[in-house]
């Protein structure tokens, strides 16, 4: 999913939308954006009170990168 983040300096008017449908993405309590000349841009969204459905999940050790 591609997202659009709208921010005009007023945190109460910030909104996040699905870029394809324009549907508002609710439950987001924080957004962290990182832009790097080597790796590109990344956005991390923090949600409150959400549901998720996952298939084929695998746990990986953060230190070794191994399952």
pLDDT of residue 53: 83
Structural domain containing residue 10:
3-47
In this structure, is residue 38 part of a structural domain? yes
Q: Indicate the SS3 state at residue 12.
A: helix
In this structure, is residue 16 part of a structural domain? yes
Q: How far apart are CA 52 and CA 11, in angstroms?
A: 26
Looking at the 3D structure of the chain, how many domains does it have? 1
In this structure, is residue 66 part of a structural domain? no
In this structure, is residue 58 part of a structural domain? no
- The model's pTM is 0.61
The string of pLDDT tens digits covering residues 5-61 is 999 999 888 899 999 999 999 999 999 999 988 888 888 899 998 888 878 878 888
């Amino acid at each position: 999913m591609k997202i659009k983040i709208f921010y005009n300096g007023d945190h109460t008017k910030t909104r996040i939308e699905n870029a394809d449908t324009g549907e508002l993405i609710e439950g987001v309590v924080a957004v962290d954006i990182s832009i790097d000349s080597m790796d590109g841009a990344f956005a991390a969204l923090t949600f409150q009170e959400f549901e998720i459905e996952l298939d084929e999940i695998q746990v990986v050790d953060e230190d070794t990168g191994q399952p």
